[in-house]
Copies of this chain bind each other. A is one copy, B any other.
């Protein structure tokens, strides 16, 4: 672990057990599938068998009469939605489109698109009744590839769609291109002309899924007075509430969302699918209704990340990156809103490059509406940039990390949006990679190669609210509203313990429902330990202030003469006056009532995160299979609150990147049917597929946070795609520009070489 200017902490940096750990490993934690309410019934969803079709009519009468069926709903059971765009989670959402994705309106836009839902006494009865719903489809030609969809003669998903550009221009003709944005600076053509070396390449990546273990689920109870309670698996209970409020046109205060434990999200659980359907089925039946997806529904009916096409031209001069021209086209899926913007915004962040021109296209295709997936948009873009940079260094014969170090962005370097970086740890991360045992050791043997790549993620701030209630025995209940995915109960409790100088074990963090805590944005954007941590710090300082005032009252002194130090209250004017945190807590009832600290804030000052990864691979020339021999992820985390969870986040991100690089993809036939919608056929890495991932945690404190937290979870998925491609190029001499680099594809390429 490399440390830069790190203060001495007593709790931060230790590795206590997570508060939810025992519950989870003993199977007692309550997930959405565990919800059982009196009188509860079960829903199932009918999904489109076509990738693109007009719905002429839906006849639900036979299904409604099926014995045991209590209700059937279609899009008509949702309130009419208008075209407003609202901030309803990680990104802005068009309410009409969100609503049409919940239950298809006039058209189905992908195979798996929800069309109708049945509620019945058992899920099996509901499943039977689905077969009795008659949908009259007019099947339309489908388009499932981003480049095909951009062609002028492509089948149109929406005749009314026009391309919007950054300046507000709108195209004349209908198009599947929802938006086109451009980021530009300097003079790329002049830089290309002056360059020592130029590389130009096209890259493609396939749609991949977050692959969370727990399928989506939702149980809704709509009371006859209009109060609605929804139990669900989500990264953001308040985002679910906001989306339900918009889709159902129902006031926020009449909706309570109870976040159950979450079995993985990675960005995919920021958008609702089942929740509004469960709600309208419950409203119609007067019974609590539970819906759960099976794995095929998760693949075909939820939001994976975009397949992409990226064309890049990069130039170097004097051992530095001098110009990049890039075109990014990302599949949005059925409705606009891919993460192409974030791809464009992050792809050059590791570099101080003066000349660039990036065109970003958001394109609809007949596939599921994409959702966020860990550093959304960045991995595919970094795959292009970091592959091109690797090729430049190979042509120049320069060490790839030295080249990156020479070109590195630092404080003051302008991002593609023109804003200058605050204090960042890109250079420290590169230095740590260069000096790492891994990079300093040779890579030897046939069919083996080493690759490196860098990556960047913004990290987010957004809104957090927490309450810290001091109990009379000196223990503290920490009430927060951020889903705990990667250990944030621990990382927040640790920050409160640090702020109050009390033992971590005395703090009990709770992820409360939307009726029991102030607004919290989603756990996403690697924001929670940073932003909710900031709120925890402020709430802790609030507690300290209140305790000083109470001690002053007890001692009949001025509050300014009381200091809070090391978990004790002390009177600066009288050294005999001292109380521990617990001693004063016990007197709270007598001195003015409960001591409760709180903070609600819009967190600003999120610190961007940089990572550089080193990977050694061996490619089997017989089978085309790539084995990861050694992997080291170097990352600036700001401050590692709980180093074990930081390492775990980094390792998890790397493993997902390995899957994306080597095996994962949505395989489609020409009609738009997904061919591998099971974990048997959709090949994610298992523990047998990867070595222990080594981590090097660099700590360049974020000046925007009292403990220097930056955010950890997303950037580790950014470098692996390119790092592995660069390693395979090193091992085989063949540069792969299309993901995944599956054994079949590698073998075909190698055979082509021979």
Contact = CB atoms under 8 A, between A and B. Distances in A.
Nearest to A591: B602
A143 interface: no
A590 B224 CA distance: 35
A463 to B, nearest CB: 4
Contact of A225 (B21, B36, B506): B21
Interface stretch (A357-365, A407-415, A467-475, A645-653): A467-475
Given A476-B253, A593-B601, A602-B592, A515 B519 contact: no
Interface of A: 17, 19, 21-23, 26, 28, 30, 34, 36, 38, 87, 221, 223-225, 227, 242, 245, 251-254, 256, 463-465, 467, 469, 471-473, 475-477, 479, 506-508, 510, 512-520, 588-596, 598, 600-603
Contact of A516 (B30, B516, B591): B516
A476 B26 CA distance: 38
Contact of A28 (B221, B242, B592, B598): B221
B224 A22 contact: yes
Contacts of A596: 465, 518-519, 598, 600
15 contacts: A21-B225, A22-B223, A26-B223, A30-B38, A227-B508, A245-B473, A253-B475, A253-B507, A467-B517, A479-B515, A479-B516, A510-B515, A510-B516, A518-B596, A590-B602
A288 B615 CA distance: 48
Contacts of A472: 242, 252, 519
A473 B506 contact: no
Given A28-B223, A592-B601, A596-B518, A253 B477 contact: yes
A545 B692 CA distance: 54
A469 B518 contact: yes
A594 B252 contact: no
Contacts of A17: 225
Contacts of A242: 472
A204 B405 CA distance: 93
A178 to B, nearest CB: 25
Contacts of A514: 477
B471 A519 contact: yes
Given A251-B471, A512-B512, 12 more contacts: A19-B227, A22-B223, A26-B223, A26-B224, A251-B506, A253-B477, A467-B517, A479-B515, A479-B516, A519-B596, A591-B602, A592-B601
A595 B594 CA distance: 21
Main secondary structure of the interface of A (DSSP, over half): mixed
A471 B256 CA distance: 12
B477 A515 contact: yes
A35 to B, nearest CB: 10
Contact of A515 (B506, B508, B595): B508
A548 to B, nearest CB: 16
A588 B238 CA distance: 14
A558 B231 CA distance: 43
A461 B469 CA distance: 20
A465 B468 CA distance: 12
Contacts of A223: 22-23, 26, 28
A588 to B, nearest CB: 8
A34 to B, nearest CB: 6
Contact of A38 (B19, B34, B251, B510): B34
Given A253-B476, A516-B510, A600 B589 contact: no
A87 to B, nearest CB: 7
Contact of A463 (B34, B467, B520, B594): B594
Contact of A252 (B252, B475, B510): B475
A87 B598 CA distance: 26
Nearest to A514: B477
Nearest to A469: B518
A590 B521 CA distance: 13
Contacts of A87: 589
A227 B515 contact: no
Contacts of A508: 227, 253-254, 256, 515
Contacts of A479: 515-517
Nearest to A287: B28
Nearest to A507: B253
A23 B225 contact: yes
Nearest to A512: B516
A519 B594 contact: yes
Contacts of A224: 22, 26
A517 B516 contact: yes
Most B CB contacts (10 A, CB to CB) among A21, A225, A520 go to: A225
